[in-house]
Amino acid sequence: MKDRPMSVLRFEPTEAQIQHACIELLRQLTIPVYRVGQRDARGTQDPGVSDLIVLSPTYGTIFAEVKTKSGAQSAAQRQFMCDVEAAGGQYELVRSSYELACLLGGS
């Protein structure tokens, strides 16, 4: 009987889990972070606005959109990214708290 290789269970964290890990990292680094509510029952939230607004003393204001490894931006999110960058702002697509840490200089 041949030995079969063990299957490896791969876990992809949800967007909410990644966002939570990013917020925890920023709080540990004492960097102010604001979550932007995407599920506003009153309909007052503009579509496409980034998930997080990071106010880094070193790197300035960063608009961070959190996505899973396989997640894609919506058309509204791509438009928001273009608007931020056209205004000279910094927009980042973040897929892990590690990626965010690297963006912040490996802090």
**Regarding beta strands 33-35 and 60-66, do their DSSP bridges make them parallel or antiparallel, or are they unpaired?**
unpaired
- Domain presence at residue 9: no
CB-CB contact of 37 with 45 (8 Å): yes
Distance CA 107, CA 100 (A): 9
Q: Which pTM value belongs to this model?
A: 0.83
CA distance linking residue 74 with residue 98, whole number of Å: 23
pLDDT tens digits along 55-76: 999 989 999 999 999 999 999 9
Give the percent of the chain with pLDDT over 90: 73
Burial of 33 (0-12, 13-18, 19+ CB in 10 A): buried
Structural domains counted in the chain: 1
Question: How many residues make up the chain in this entry?
Answer: 107
In a domain, 6, yes or no: no
CATH code where residue 85 lies: 3.40.1350.10
